[in-house]
Amino acid sequence: MLNELISEGSVVETGLAPSTGGRRPLMYSIKPDILYIVSVAMDQFVTRIAIMDMQNTFISSVQTIDLPLANNPAALQILSEAIKTAIKESGVDAKKIAGVGIGMPGFVDMQKGLNYSFLESGQKNISEYIENVIGIPVWIDNDSRLIALAELRFGAARNRRNAMVINIGWGIGLGLVLDSELFRGNNGFAGEFSHIPLFSNGKICSCGKSGCLETESSLAMVAEKAKAALKEGKVSSLQEISSNYEQATDAIIQAAKRGDKFSIELLSEAGYNIGRGAAILIHILNPEVIILSGRGSAAGKIWQAPIQQAINEHCIPRLADNTVIEISELGHQAELIGAAALVMDNYSKHKISMN
């Protein structure tokens, strides 16, 4: 079978692996340009689109478009046209594209192709809508689950049986790896970590309830707290905070890395609250690793101490002793990589159904 794949040009020899005591084995890999994937990573404000080869290499720069999702009935049409344009500008033959994988925030039912939070489609299948526009198979899933899928396939959850992947972004998402498989739940809604009601703060969450973890610990809330404190005269190397959440959080994270006390305090407070939520999940799931991924993982080890402190205070020691906290090496690219993995997980099934 390997010889057949080599002769048809699908697989190439890549050299010799290190010896483990005998003759060094030959290594092979799929030819990078045999197929391509369109990978889309969405959040509530910005959408990134990338074309990737079979080695998870971006063949061109990642395109970024401002696409607010809330109260935007045109968002689905804009997204479809943006993907179509990205494919055209890449110069890749559409026949060589295996599919489009899209990660998006909200309550996403992957099987029905619906997002009950964003991208108004009149209860029509979002995947089919986009596919009709671009003529290429499309798969969608929740952004945090795809981040967990990326960690499972290529990152810190690889070779781990049970892992919690926390997506630190405009909300606090969660992807679950249970028994070495991505866990989606009954309707695909598992992992709504942001909406655990931890506080009696009276703050209304995006879900409509009050006191959710998101209302104190999301990057959006960190930016809002920074803006309010600086306005009141808080001393910091941050002179001002942009009204753009992406620019604001990047500035806070970079300032924290330079040692700015105020920025470190902001992230530490958010981290402690995330740790309180994680302690609850440790009691339920007993994971071997908690992986901090997504946009916020750029702050690195700054998160670890406050999260560990909260776990120490709120978790039974015997349950938490064997749970480690790791920072993702995939970082902000995790969702794009996970969207590509989603395509390849479903590609063979699609080809079989087409035949």
**Model confidence pLDDT, tens digit, residues 158-197:** 999 999 999 999 999 999 999 999 999 888 889 999 999 9
* DSSP for residue 297: G
Q: Structure tokens of 70? A: 């809330």
In a domain, 11, yes or no: no
The pLDDT of residue 166: 97
pLDDT in tens, 5-16: 888 888 888 888
Q: Give per-residue pLDDT as tens, 94-105.
A: 999 999 999 999
Q: Confirm whether 149 is domain-assigned.
A: no
Do both 209 and 299 map to the same domain?
Answer: yes
Locate all alpha helices (DSSP H) within the chain, ordered by sequence: 2-7, 75-90, 126-134, 143-154, 214-217, 219-231, 245-257, 261-285, 304-314, 317-320, 334-354
Q: For the CA atoms of 105, 110, 113, 114, what is the dihedral angle to 10 degrees?
A: -50
**pLDDT tens digits for 36-78?**
999 999 999 999 999 999 888 899 889 999 999 999 999 999 9
Q: What is the pLDDT of residue 45?
A: 93
3-state helix, strand, coil in the chain (%, to 5): 45, 20, 35
What mean pLDDT do residues 134-155 have? 96
Claim to verify: residue 237 and residue 97 sit in the same structural domain: no
Distance of CA 218 to the CA centre of its chain: 14
Is 318 a domain residue?
Answer: yes
Q: Are residues 160 and 134 in the same domain?
A: no
Summarised one tens digit per residue, pLDDT across range 233-259 is: 999 999 888 888 999 999 999 999 999
CA angle 158, 159, 165 (to 5 degrees): 45
Q: Which of 143, 167, 190 is the last residue of a domain?
A: 143
Do 302 and 224 fall within a single domain?
yes
- Backbone angles phi and psi of 80, in degrees to 5: -60, -45
Rg (CA), the chain: 21
Average pLDDT score over residue span 326-347? 94
Residue 12 to residue 29: CA distance in whole angstroms = 6
Range of the domain at 53: 36-143
Query: Both 165 and 280 in a single domain?
Result: yes
Indicate which CATH number applies to the domain containing 89: 3.30.420.40
280 and 167 in a single domain? The answer is yes
Which of 115, 143, 171 lies at the terminal end of a domain, its last residue? 143
pLDDT over 80 at 115, yes or no: yes
Q: Report how many domains make up the chain.
A: 2
The more confident residue out of 281 and 19 is: 281
| Arithmetic mean of pLDDT over the chain | 92
Of all residues in the chain, what percent carry a pLDDT higher than 70? 98
Q: Buried (b) or exposed (e) across 255-267, using 16+ Cβ within 10 A? A: bbeeebebbbbbb
Q: How confident is the model at residue 147 (pLDDT cuts 50, 70, 90)?
A: very high
Residue 352 has pLDDT above 60, yes or no: no
Domain end among 118, 143, 168 = 143
**Burial class for 21, CB neighbours closer than 10 Å (0-12, 13-18, 19+):** exposed
Q: What is the pLDDT of residues 275-297, one digit of tens each?
A: 999 999 999 999 999 999 999 99
Compute, in degrees rounded to 10, the torsion defined by CA atoms 283, 191, 290, 288.
Answer: 50
Read off the tokens for 167.
């997506």
